[in-house]
Amino acid sequence: FGQTFQFFLAVGMVDEEIVLLIQEIKRLGKPDAEGKPRVKYGVLFKDDTVANTFEALLGTLKAAKKRKIIHFDGELLLQGVHDGVDIVLLRDTL
């Protein structure tokens, strides 16, 4: 029972972080030609609110990408190296 409960708790936390990520991409991003908010990884990573909100930004980004909520090129984003990579919000619901 305990492991199952922890799993659902963890899933709920990931969902909550993805909702927060959506809000931050909307806040920091600018619409592209299709009207989808787009933000550079470096802008997102260096933002104080983002830094204070997300314990593991990359993990939240990967979870959102896996659910097709966002898109970015590549599998891994590293601060500095990938600051210029666009993160595109594909949809704003879970």
Q: What separation in angstroms does the CA of 77 have from each of 57, 66, 81, 84, 94? A: 10, 14, 8, 10, 22
Distance CA 82, CA 11 (A): 27
> Please, what are the averages of pLDDT over each run of 10 residues along the chain (94 residues)?
54 85 98 97 98 94 96 95 98 92
pLDDT at 4: 56
Give the pair of three-digit tokens for residue 89: 């919000």
Q: Taking Cα atoms as reference points, which of 59, 29, 26 lies closest to residue 42?
A: 29
Q: How far is CA 76 from CA 8, 12, 14, 61, in A?
A: 26, 23, 18, 9
Helices then strands, counting H and E runs in the chain, come out as 4, 4
